[in-house]
Structure 1
Amino acid sequence: MSSSPLAPTMPPRKGYLAAISALRSKVPLSVSLGMAWLAAMVLIAVLAHLIMPYGITAMDLTNRLAGPGNARHWLGTDELGRDVLSRLLQSIRVSLVIAFGATIISAVVGTALGFLAARFRGSVESLVLVLADFQAALPFLIMSLAVLAFFGSSMPLLVCLMGFYGWERYARIARGLAISASAQGYAAAVVQLGASPMRVYFRHILPNVASTLIVSMTLTFPEIILMESGLSFLGLGVQPPETSLGNMVGFGREYLTTAPWIMLAPAFVIMVTTLSISIVGDWLRDRLDPTVR
């Protein structure tokens, strides 16, 4: 009996294998895992207040320094009986908010100064380059410690302070790319049509250099996370009762031998998050760089 012409034909197994192989070749496994981890971190940061089993200041004195696997506290408790999992979820939110806000500030300030240097050559360009050299030569951690010790620590101040980290990279990149783009035909054609310099830079040049700036942001983001963690570890970052990843590591170091889970949980999140961002950033750099392709 002949089969019906309307019966669906099953594609060969080799076709599925070829499609899966092509997909894997486009996105390596390490990059896929990094993206999945970062997506999970963003989801936790958004939904932290809904999935935290306890408040970050709620104390269970009958279960002080309880180890992981406790029926009521999956990741254990700290020296005051506070749930480590709840504090870890809130710490992820706070650290990501600080890192994201600081990265945006750094990128905006650096890109704007780079465009100014490319637009107004001469004294303005020299001033921007001198400031960039000064910023690159200044030990940022020491400057941050001095500012926070003098003015005190607060969330807005910490975000703004971290926002000045790495702006000179964006300024140099934006200046070089803007000068190169201005010498090309499309920028000159838009100028001849009567477009203002602001429109030329932000509507025509910026979209063409955005890929390079985005890759730079992925490389600066983990550095800001580590910088904030270092400041919180030294006691000048996020202040109690609020918590961050570095804050948890700083308070947990005193119990490293008796209750290591207090410090190891946030330290693991810091390590995997920065590693994931670096892997994804390197992959984006290779994918978005036309010379590599």
Structure 2
Amino acid sequence: MSDATLPAVAAAPRFRLNLPLGVAIGVSWILLMLAVAVLADVISPYAYTALDLRNRLSPPVGMGGVWAHPLGTDELGRDVLSRLIYSIRMSLLIAFGATIIGAVFGTTMGFLAAHFRGWVEQAVLALVDFSASLPFLILALAVLAFFGNSLSLFIVLLGFHAWERYARIARGLAISAGAQGYAAAVRQLGAGPLRVYGRHILPNIASTLIVSMTLAFPEIILLESGLSFLGLGVQPPSTSLGNMVGYGREYLTRAPWILLAPAFTIITTTLAVSMVGDWLRDRLDPTLR
């Protein structure tokens, strides 16, 4: 190798991802929660419905408990750690499903308003204003009390939370894209509406929508926890983080570990997602650069 090639080798670029400490911790926690949800059947020491009546209300390790139940047991002798692992899976499933439903529905409505304009746009905007002014918790309580509760209905119902946020963003950015001219140019070349919005407009506004999804995700987790706490969310024998908090409130003075473990998980997960969402907004939003 000649000496002339040495500077080129020494100057080879190095790719580094510089994350603030808080964001790095948030990303690590989110990845940990996803790994727990995916590997729940493998890492869970017991079935979440398994009973151990001899160790009812057993405290966690460090408070006089045994390593067989490191986070203690509940009033029926069920292992809190196992129930926490499966609750994380259920809560993340609901949060991801509801967030995707809300984003898809809201973006579609926003594109319809931007494409047709006129009375279609006015109808969508009126629906958006009505949805934003209606207390969602009251609506959810009414729907679940009237139609009964099922996991699919619960996820779809939560999916309509804050869908108007995506509709406003998609409408405004689609109109702006039309004003910039590239959408009209593609349309003049013979592209249909699906191609124009799906292949050209949507990729240009995807970053803004992704940031909105990361900000709405913790709201869905908290809403699911609140409804499950009230007994209108996930129903036994299934379990979720809010479900665990709801059952643990009756033993707050005698066995606080039943409630504290899922409550800590809810707080930490929502905080981590919010921190990552704020960081993504600062990195991807051109108006904040």
Q: TM-score scaled to structure 2, two decimals?
A: 0.93
Question: Is 1:50 matched up with 2:42?
Answer: yes
Picking from 144, 149, 168, the partner of 1:148 is 144
Question: Is 1:285 matched up with 2:277?
Answer: no
For 1:57 and 1:200, locate their aligned partners in 2 and report how far apart those are by CA, in whole Å.
51
Post-superposition offset of 1:259: 0.3
The residue number in structure 2 matching 1:63 is 55
What SS class does the counterpart of residue 27 from structure 1 fall into?
coil
Question: Is 1:123 matched up with 2:119?
Answer: yes
Where does 1:193-272 land on structure 2 (aligned, <5 Å)?
193-272=189-268
1:233 counterpart letter in structure 2:
F
For 1:107 and 1:163, locate their aligned partners in 2 and report how far apart those are by CA, in whole Å.
8
After superposition, the CA RMSD in angstroms is 1.7
The residue number in structure 2 matching 1:37 is 29
The residue number in structure 2 matching 1:98 is 94
Post-superposition offset of 1:184: 1.1
Post-superposition offset of 1:185: 2.4
Post-superposition offset of 1:292: 2.1
Post-superposition offset of 1:151: 1.2
Would you identify which runs of 4 or more consecutive aligned residues in structure 1 move more than 6 Å? none
The residue number in structure 2 matching 1:114 is 110
Q: TM-score scaled to structure 1, two decimals?
A: 0.91
What SS class does the counterpart of residue 187 from structure 2 fall into?
helix
What SS class does the counterpart of residue 286 from structure 2 fall into?
coil
For 2:22 and 2:141, locate their aligned partners in 1 and report how far apart those are by CA, in whole Å.
36
Picking from 69, 76, 86, the partner of 1:73 is 69
- Identity, in percent, stands at 71
Post-superposition offset of 1:23: 5.2
Post-superposition offset of 1:79: 0.4
Post-superposition offset of 1:186: 1.5
Deviations 1:221-265 (CA, angstroms, capped at 9, x unpaired) = 100000000000000100000000000000000000010000000
Q: Is there any run of 5+ residues in structure 1 with no aligned partner, and where?
A: 6-18
For 2:109 and 2:181, locate their aligned partners in 1 and report how far apart those are by CA, in whole Å.
24
The residue number in structure 1 matching 2:20 is 28
For 2:170 and 2:184, locate their aligned partners in 1 and report how far apart those are by CA, in whole Å.
18
